[in-house]
Amino acid sequence: MLTRANHRTLQRLNNDVFLQIMEELWPGGNLRGLSATCRAIRELCKPVLFQQCELFSDVGLVHRFLPENIWPFISYLTLRDHCPDLEAGRYVGHPSNFRMRLLYAADRLLCGIYDPSLLDHALRNMPRLHTLKITQISTKERHGLPWSSVRTILSIPHLQRFIFGFHQLVPTLLPDEVLCLDSPAPLKVFRYILPDTRKSPRKHDSEVAALGVIFEKLHLTLEELDLPADPVPLSILSSLQWPLRFTMPSNGSSLLWWPDSLDASFPCPALESLLITFPCPDDKLYSRLPPTLRSLSLASFPHASYTDRHWAETWRANLLSSSQVLAILQQCSLPNLEYLELEYVDDSSERELFRHLGTASPKLATLKIRRYRPIGVQSVSATTFAEALHFVPRLRDLWLHLDLPENPPPQLMRHGPGYEEIDLLAFVQFWLDPAVDALALSLPPPLTDLHLLIARCDKSHWVNYRVRSHPHAKSSSGATRIGATVRMPYPTPQVRSLRYQEPSAI
C-alpha cells in the first residue's frame, strides 16, 4: 500500500531515476500496476505507459479512435486495418451480388476507413509522435490507401518514420485527386512492404506516379528506404540527390537490375551496403557498382540451408556455382569491401575465388559463406577450404556452412518438423568440433572468430568458436594457434576448451 510517507519519498526521486524505473517495468507489463497506485504516480507513468499504442480498425476511424487525453504521450502508433470493405470488394460489381456493398470507400481498390481530416487533426496533436505504422490484417485480399490519406500522413511536421505494410499505395486515383505534396514531413524512414507472393497486377500506374512524387519531395531527408522492386520509378530515383548515408532494401520480381539496353551511370555513387538475392551472372549491375561499397551480399532467400532433405537437391540446382560467383566478383571494383556474404555450390574453384578476393578486396575482414556439395559428393575437406583462405590476408571473422552430410535431418514432432536435442549435441561433438580442429590448424593467423552452421528448416543455428594463440601449438602455416572455445546452446550454455597437440605428435 502506498502511504503518504512513501509518496513523499517517491516524489523526492530524481526524474531521470524514476523514468528509468518506469522503463524497466514497462516491457514486462508491470507498469500498469504501478500507475494504478495513485493519481500522481499515474500522471508520471503516462509518458511511458502510452508511448506505444496499437489500434485494431474494423470500422472507420471517425467511429473508433484513441482517446484524446493520451495523444500527447504517443510516440509510436500502429494502426491495424481489418476494413469490412476488404471482403466486400471481392464481390462488388459481380452480377450475382445483391447484398455486399462498400461501406467506406468509393472504389473497391481503396480503403476508406482512414479519414484524412481525422488523421490530420489527431496526428498533429500527437507532438511526440515519430513513427506511424499502418498494416493490413489479411494478406489474401488487399486494397490500398488513397492519395488523400497518404498526403495527410506525409505532411505531419514531426513524423520521422512511416511504415506501410501489406496495403497497396494509391492503387488508383479518385476523379478529383491530383498528386501533389506541398508541405512534406522531414521523413527519415519510409518502408513500403508487400508480400513477394502477391497476385497480379504487381504494380499500378498511380502507385508508380505517387512514389515518384514522394521521392521528389522527401529525398533530401530520407536515410532509409524499403520498397518492393516492381513499382519503383528508377528513372526518378537515379535523377535525385540522396543523403550520404542511405539504405534502400528492395524486393520483388527477379528481373535484371541492369539490362544490356541500359546506358547510364550508377544512381548511388556513394553506396556502402548492397544485398542482392538470387544474383544473375548476366546482370550488368556488378560492373557499375561504386568502389565505396563496404558490405556486399550475394545469396539466395530463403537460404538453401533452410530447406529439408526433400527439397535440398532441387533447390541446389538453382544455386550459382563458385566459378559463377567468381565471374560476378571479377566484374566488380571493391577495394573498400569489409563484409562479404556468398552462397554457392562448390565446383573446385574456391581457391581461385579467394585468390581474387585477396587481391581485389584487401580490406575484407568478415566472410559469411554458405557452400554446398555438388550432387553425388559425400565428403567435405575442411582443411582444403581453410588453406584457400590464406589468400584473404585480413580475415578475422568467418561464418561458414560446410554442408556436412552428417547434418541431422528434421524429425516429425508434435508441433511439426523439429530436431531432437541429443541429435544436435551429437552432431556438434562428433562432426562440427573435429571440423573446427581441422580448420583452425590451417586458418590464416588474423582470424579469431569462427561460426559454423547447423542446417535446419526452422531457423539459423550458428555454433560459435574462438581461436586463440598458444605458445606451444603450431599450425601448418607456422602461426601460433590454440583450439576453439565452444558455446553450445543445448540444453544450457556450456563452455569447453579444445587444445591442439604438438605438431610432432599429430
> Within this chain, do residues 375 and 397 fall inside the same structural domain, yes or no?
yes
Q: What percent of the chain has pLDDT over 70?
A: 79
Residue ending a domain, choose from 220, 252, 284: 252
- Type and span of the H or E element at 401: strand 397-401
- What is the average pLDDT across 298-317? 69
Closest CA to 335 of 375, 380, 296, 382: 296
> Within this chain, do residues 233 and 374 fall inside the same structural domain, yes or no?
no
pLDDT: is 261 or 498 the higher one?
Answer: 261
pLDDT: is 407 or 376 the higher one?
Answer: 407
Q: Please report the pLDDT score of residue 195 as a whole number.
A: 81
> Within this chain, do residues 342 and 441 fall inside the same structural domain, yes or no?
yes
Give tens-digit pLDDT for 75-121.
999 999 888 877 665 656 554 544 567 778 888 888 989 999 999 99
Flag whether pLDDT at 370 surpasses 70.
Answer: yes
Mean pLDDT of the chain: 80
Q: Please report the pLDDT score of residue 395 as a whole number.
A: 92
> Within this chain, do residues 43 and 90 fall inside the same structural domain, yes or no?
no
Distances (CA, A) of 238 to 82, 215, 267, 440: 36, 11, 4, 46
Residue ending a domain, choose from 252, 278, 304: 252
> Within this chain, do residues 231 and 278 fall inside the same structural domain, yes or no?
no
Flag whether pLDDT at 294 surpasses 70.
Answer: yes
Q: Please report the pLDDT score of residue 480 as a whole number.
A: 32
CA-CA distance, 212 to 232, in Å (whole number)?
A: 8
Flag whether pLDDT at 35 surpasses 50.
Answer: yes
Q: Which grid coordinates are listed for 60?
A: 472507420
DSSP reduced 3-state for 122 = helix
Specify whether the CB–CB gap between 300 and 324 falls below 8 A: no
CA-CA distance, 48 to 19, in Å (whole number)?
A: 8
Give tens-digit pLDDT for 46-85.
888 899 999 998 888 989 999 999 999 999 999 998 888 7
Flag whether pLDDT at 506 surpasses 70.
Answer: no
Q: By residue range, what is the domain housing residue 492?
A: 254-259+266-506
CA-CA distance, 455 to 428, in Å (whole number)?
A: 12
Give tens-digit pLDDT for 416-470.
788 888 888 888 888 888 888 888 887 777 888 889 998 888 778 889 888 875 5
- What is the average pLDDT across 308-317? 59
Lowest-pLDDT choice from 58-67, 122-131, 231-240, 252-261: 252-261
Flag whether pLDDT at 353 surpasses 90.
Answer: yes
Q: Count up the domains in the chain and report the number.
A: 3
Specify whether the CB–CB gap between 104 and 111 falls below 8 A: yes
> Within this chain, do residues 229 and 354 fall inside the same structural domain, yes or no?
no
Question: Which of 117-126, 368-377, 486-495 has the highest mean predicted lDDT (pLDDT)?
Answer: 117-126
Lowest-pLDDT choice from 281-295, 308-322, 334-348: 308-322
- What is the average pLDDT across 265-280? 82
Helix locations, 322-477, DSSP H: 322-331, 350-360, 382-388, 421-427, 433-442
> Within this chain, do residues 37 and 173 fall inside the same structural domain, yes or no?
no
> Within this chain, do residues 366 and 424 fall inside the same structural domain, yes or no?
yes
Q: What percent of the chain has pLDDT over 90?
A: 36
CA-CA distance, 307 to 457, in Å (whole number)?
A: 5
- What is the average pLDDT across 184-211? 89
pLDDT: is 434 or 256 the higher one?
Answer: 434
Q: Please report the pLDDT score of residue 200 as a whole number.
A: 80
> Within this chain, do residues 300 and 183 fall inside the same structural domain, yes or no?
no
- What is the average pLDDT across 208-233? 91
> Within this chain, do residues 68 and 37 fall inside the same structural domain, yes or no?
no
Residue ending a domain, choose from 207, 230, 252: 252
77 forms beta bridges with: 53, 132
> Within this chain, do residues 237 and 210 fall inside the same structural domain, yes or no?
yes
- What is the average pLDDT across 19-33? 70
Q: Confidence band (pLDDT; 50, 70, 90) for 291? A: very high
> Within this chain, do residues 297 and 374 fall inside the same structural domain, yes or no?
yes
Q: Please report the pLDDT score of residue 89 as a whole number.
A: 55
Flag whether pLDDT at 12 surpasses 60.
Answer: yes
pLDDT: is 229 or 53 the higher one?
Answer: 53
Flag whether pLDDT at 475 surpasses 50.
Answer: no
Pairing verdict, β 250-251 and 224-228? parallel
Flag whether pLDDT at 249 surpasses 90.
Answer: no
pLDDT: is 44 or 296 the higher one?
Answer: 296
